[in-house]
Amino acid sequence: MWLERGVSGMGRSLKDEENGRIVGKYEIGRMIGIGTFAKVSIARNVDTGEEVAIKVINKKLIEKYQIAELIKKEISTMHLIKHPNVIRIHEAIASKKKIYIVLELATGGELFDTITSRQKMKEDDARHYFQQLVTAVDFCHSRGIYHRDLKPENLLLDSNGVLKVTDFGLSALPHQLQVDGLLHTRCGSPNYVAPEVINNARRGYDGAKSDLWSCGVILFVLLAGYLPFDDTNMFMLFKKIGQADFTCPGWITKSAQKLIKRILNPNPDTRITMVELFKNSWFRKGYKSPIFEETPLDVVHDIFDESLMDEKPPMMNAFHIIAGFGCFDLRKLFENLLDCVEKETRFISKLPPEEVVSMIKMAVKPLGFRVVKNKKYKMKLLGGKVLHKGQLAITTEIYELFPSLSLVEVFKSKGDTVEFHKDFMVSLKDAVWTLEQENNHDTSQTSNCSSIYE
């Protein structure tokens, strides 16, 4: 069955009441789209002349449908993602009656419209769009963000034909993961949703694997011009998805068919991973990694004052201790909590600071890290591997709490968040002292550290 656009909940009969209105430094122009909860218009920055898109949301609708948290999540999520294939958010403005979200303008329309106008794409064109999509999605995953509603309607094109992922309203953030590290909410568009989201949401699903499934459905649509799974009966549709009941048309090359089947594997445990996908020969043909400067979330951690070469680690006073832990974390008043969740780990050490420094150096040496800056108790380490998100850069600093107690802070300043947690922090597992060890051993014999995660 050929693609059909879903019907908007608001229809297209609304008056364009915003045209000509000045909001902040933006003059709103003609309306270019209507969604269930928002209207989108072109606007012009009166200071610079730059054209932008403004999403206008009526506060009455927010209250009526109780979507305040959804709107907040979308805004905060987009602020966390600075990538050439993700729609950029400029700012959000609130009036008494409405919320205005100022976004990068993508004048090329939806990828959906490009697909429907061509029916199907040439393989090189489809691959080019798919590469951009996967690169953006993989970057989101490295920030702990899972989109959960990937479909051609949520993929825009700019004036140069560059793909832009948008609409993060259903995305999942790190704090939504339960203790099992999985997501448990059924969401997404039926034709693009992964089978484990439909069938095993209670048991939990991996957001990265379910997003990759949706990318596979989009790749099929790009090459075939129609959906791999479609049925007017929802039960039958979900049955087809659960069994991966689809057939690739003959015009799709064997190598592309093979890749599609590896992505649309109903078993998430054996489904192709992002790492494997980036090594796939069909995917890599003509692939170029995007070149961009990732906006740091907290540049303070990358600053080293070379003039202060203290012989002892800095003392941490009571305010720092209270401000740094648990429900008394005062930094949450000034920073986005996600910054800390993604990039930072702390633990307490009963070892001398010099020994902690040595342990960190020894732990990371097998991983190929090298010290690029060293201020005795503050180090900057650079990973040896150059992956598609660049080298992993780590900052460590040790504070003296008491003469026999130190606080170790570890920050990821650049690179893949997943690598940070799974590779770098795992390498320090022998330096972790637990309360259980404290109960089983005399304090004087303890040589590990107590882990405190924010």
Which residues are identified as catalytic? 149
What residues form DSSP beta bridges with 40?
33, 55
β-strand 89-94 against 98-104: which pairing, if any? antiparallel
Cα-flanking dihedrals φ and ψ of residue 203, to 5°?
-80, -15
CB 73 within 8 Å of CB 168: yes
Q: How far apart are CA 287 and CA 175, in angstroms?
A: 33
d(Cα 205, Cα 209) in Å, to the nearest integer? Answer: 8
C-alpha 197 chain-centroid distance? 19
Q: How many residues does the chain have?
A: 454
Residue 348, sorted as left (phi over 0), alpha (psi -120 to 50) or beta, turns out to be beta
Structure tokens at 78: 């987009």
55: annotated binding-site residue? yes
Which one, of 255, 250, 254, 246, lies nearest residue 227 by Cα? 246
Residues 8, 36: contact at Cβ < 8 Å? Answer: yes
Q: Are the beta carbons of 227 and 249 closer than 8 angstroms?
A: no
Question: The dihedral of CA 83, 88, 94, 98: what is its sign?
Answer: negative
User: In the block, which residue shows the tokens 């008056």?
Assistant: 15
Binding positions for ATP are 55
Binding positions are 55
